[in-house]
Structure 1
Amino acid sequence: MVNNILVFGGNGFLGRRICQTAIERGFEVTSLSRSGTPPPVKSLWDKEWTGKVNWRRCDVLNPRSYSKYLERADNVVHSIGILLENSSYKAQINGQTAFDAKKLLQWGANPLNNNPNFTYDVMNRQSALTLAQEFAKPQYNSKLKTMTYISADRSFPGIPSGYIDSKRAAESGILQLEAELRPILARPGFMYDELDTSLGSLDFRSQLKNLLDLANWSNSKLLGRRVNCVNQLFRPTVSTQQVSRAVIQKIEDPTFRGVLELEDILNA
Structure 2
Amino acid sequence: MRTVVSRLIHCRSFIPRLAAMTMSTNGRYLSMESNKVDEPFKVEEAETVNVPPPPTDKLLVLGGNGFVGSHICREALDHGLSVASLSRSGRSSLHDSWANKITWYQGNLLSSDSWKEALNGVTSVISCVGGFGSNSYMYKINGTANINAIRAASEQGAKRFVYISAADFGVANYILRGYYEGKRAAETELLTKFPYGGVILRPGFIYGTRSVGSMKIPLSIIGSPMEMVLQRARPLVQLPLVGPLFTPPVNVTSVAKVAVRAATDPVFPPGILDVYGIQRYSQHKSK
Q: TM above 0.5, one fold?
A: yes
CA displacement, residues 109-155 of structure 1 (integer Å, 9 cap, x when unaligned): 46xxxxxxxx1110000001111111221xx24xx611111101123
1:9 matches 2:63: yes
Q: Larger Cα Rg: Structure 1 or Structure 2?
A: 2
Identity percentage of aligned residues:
27
Shift of 1:55: 1.5
1:228 matches 2:239: yes
Judging changes above 3 Å, is the alpha-carbon distance between structure 1 residues 154 and 39 closer, same or farther for their aligned structure 2 residues? farther
> How far apart, in 1, do the equivalents of 2:75 and 2:109 lie?
22
Paired position in structure 2 for 1:136: 154
Shift of 1:206: 5.9
> How far apart, in 1, do the equivalents of 2:77 and 2:188 lie?
30
Alignment counterpart, residue 120 of structure 1, candidates 127, 130, 138 = 138
Paired position in structure 1 for 2:270: 257
Higher RCO structure (Cα 8 Å, ≥6 apart): 1
Shift of 1:15: 0.5
Q: TM-score, normalised by structure 1?
A: 0.72
Paired position in structure 1 for 2:197: 182
Q: TM-score, normalised by structure 2?
A: 0.67
Judging changes above 3 Å, is the alpha-carbon distance between structure 1 residues 146 and 226 closer, same or farther for their aligned structure 2 residues? closer
Please tell me whether the aligned partners of residues 11 and 33 of structure 1 are also in contact (alpha carbons under 8 angstroms).
yes
Note the 1:135-174 alignment, pairs <5 A: 135-137=153-155, 140-141=156-157, 145-155=159-169, 158=172, 159-174=175-190
> How far apart, in 2, do the equivalents of 1:80 and 1:136 lie?
17
Judging changes above 3 Å, is the alpha-carbon distance between structure 1 residues 225 and 26 closer, same or farther for their aligned structure 2 residues? same
| Secondary structure at the counterpart of residue 126 of structure 2 | strand
| Secondary structure at the counterpart of residue 51 of structure 1 | helix
Please provide the CA RMSD for this pair. 2.9
> How far apart, in 1, do the equivalents of 2:266 and 2:235 lie?
38
Paired position in structure 2 for 1:28: 82
Note the 1:190-209 alignment, pairs <5 A: 190-194=205-209, 209=223
Please tell me whether the aligned partners of residues 194 and 239 of structure 1 are also in contact (alpha carbons under 8 angstroms).
no
Structure 1 runs of 4+ with >6 Å offset: none
1:51 matches 2:64: no
> How far apart, in 1, do the equivalents of 2:184 and 2:153 lie?
20
Please tell me whether the aligned partners of residues 60 and 83 of structure 2 are also in contact (alpha carbons under 8 angstroms).
yes
- Write the letter of the residue equivalent to 1:178: F
Query: How many residue pairs align between the two structures?
Result: 220
| Secondary structure at the counterpart of residue 260 of structure 1 | strand
> How far apart, in 1, do the equivalents of 2:58 and 2:99 lie?
16
> How far apart, in 2, do the equivalents of 1:67 and 1:202 lie?
34
Give structure 2 stretches of 5+ with no counterpart.
1-54, 283-287
1:78 matches 2:132: no
Please tell me whether the aligned partners of residues 91 and 105 of structure 2 are also in contact (alpha carbons under 8 angstroms).
yes
Please tell me whether the aligned partners of residues 161 and 194 of structure 2 are also in contact (alpha carbons under 8 angstroms).
no
